[in-house]
Amino acid sequence: MGYSRQQLAARRERRRRRRRARLRGIALLAGICFVAGLGAALAFGRAEPAADATAAGPGTQAAPAAPATSTTEAAAPAREGPVDETVTIAAVGDIAMGRDGFPPPGGGEGLFAQVRHLLEGDIVVGNLEQALTEEGTSKCGKKAKNCFAFRTPPSTAEALAGAGFTVLSLANNHSYDYGQAGLDDSVAALEAAALAHTGLPDQVTRVRKQPVRVAVLGFGFYPTSASLLDVEGAAQLVREADRWADVIVVTFHGGAEGKDATRVPRGPETYLGEQRGDLRAFSHAVVDAGADLVVGHGPHVLRGMEWWNDRLIAYSLGNFAGNHTFRIDGPGGVSGVLHVTVRGDGSWVKGDLAPVALVGDGAALPDPAEAAHGAVRELSKQDFGRRAIQVSPTGELSPPANG
């Protein structure tokens, strides 16, 4: 999918106008709060400590109770030290519930019915590789070949919420399949279903999990996303999130695609002439900047997992649920649900990979053959050697012995 210079310029101008409006609103709110706080301090002799605020950097979303965004870090109360509690993150790969002519069964609920019990965690993250809209114009012309545009009605956001998801990334090459109108509808549908979203340019999504503060950031290779191609820019956004968050989860959509894309190469990857990121360099940079867990998707197959600076990088969790959208033969049908528990300072507690298989038209089922375990174990060894994550016969994950 391509954009003309005029389209890109228009989109950038819309973003600038939205940011200016947010800044004006925040400035007014800050002034009101300052006056109110000063009056309270004078009346009672001291100012009460701030609550667990949800204000953050540009594009920030407080989720799910208060999805509005704000643009200041100053309101976030400082931490005296790491929180002595844990948080569990569950993560999956690509989700595309349907396309024109193939509505999702049961409003989408049937795609997740057999794996709902696996989607358990304080934070449950997936990649929504489609639009939630009935509006807009498909990026694929009537005579286009080998072009795929995915969408389902906005009401199918309820199926995602019912399955247990709490945060969906829009940083991918299909969230804009139906243009800006489709993307706007997707955002509105997620928010209406009390689901957080991440991955728009400059977006830091705050998830208020008491007492551990978690921020989720999504990155992709399209201009509608926070960019993984700008490695230093991505690292800077993570550093900004780290000013507030105890735990930072980075999710990205990148890399080559298909059954031959199971390995993580050194250097940049391309697919169909597109630059799709140097995923090792990107992942290492965001961990070094403060990310505590990195979860990838995009190749539509599982990839290996690396232990880098005491943090886990899962380079691709493959497909998770489709409906006439993904190829699920061979490695495309092997998937899993990643569970990671970390302490309030981001340090490792435990992890596991629950094996999943895609069957029929793309529904997800628990995989009794546990193919994901062997695939991730071997790919991790091949690509990362001494830094490979260890995968037990039952799917338990642990750092390498020398880690």
pLDDT one-digit tens code per residue, 228-266 = 999 999 999 999 999 999 999 999 999 999 999 999 999
Same domain, 42 and 94: no
Same domain, 41 and 151: no
Stretch 363-369: mean pLDDT: 96
The answer to whether residue 75 sits within a structural domain is: no
Q: Residue 296: what pLDDT?
A: 98
The answer to whether residue 106 sits within a structural domain is: yes
Q: Degrees (nearest 5) of the Cα angle 147, 254, 354?
A: 105
Q: Residue 77: what pLDDT?
A: 60
Range of the domain at 255: 86-398
Owner of token pair 């709490």:
166
The answer to whether residue 250 sits within a structural domain is: yes
| Bridge partners (DSSP) listed for residue 249 | 216, 293
Same domain, 218 and 307: yes
CB atoms within 10 A of CB 290: 20
* pLDDT tens track for 71-88: 333 345 656 666 789 999
pTM of the model: 0.82
pLDDT band at 19 (very low <50, low <70, confident <90, very high): very low
Same domain, 41 and 121: no
Same domain, 169 and 37: no
CB proximity list for 292: less than 8 A, separation 6 or greater? 247, 248, 249, 311, 342, 346
Q: Residue 174: what pLDDT?
A: 96
Stretch among 64-73, 165-174, 195-204, 270-279 having the lowest mean pLDDT = 64-73
Domain count, the chain: 2
| DSSP-H helix ranges across 3-143 | 5-44, 109-112
Same domain, 197 and 116: yes
* pLDDT tens track for 261-305: 999 999 999 999 999 999 999 999 999 999 999 999 999 999 999
User: What phi, psi does 207 have (nearest 5°)?
Assistant: -115, 115
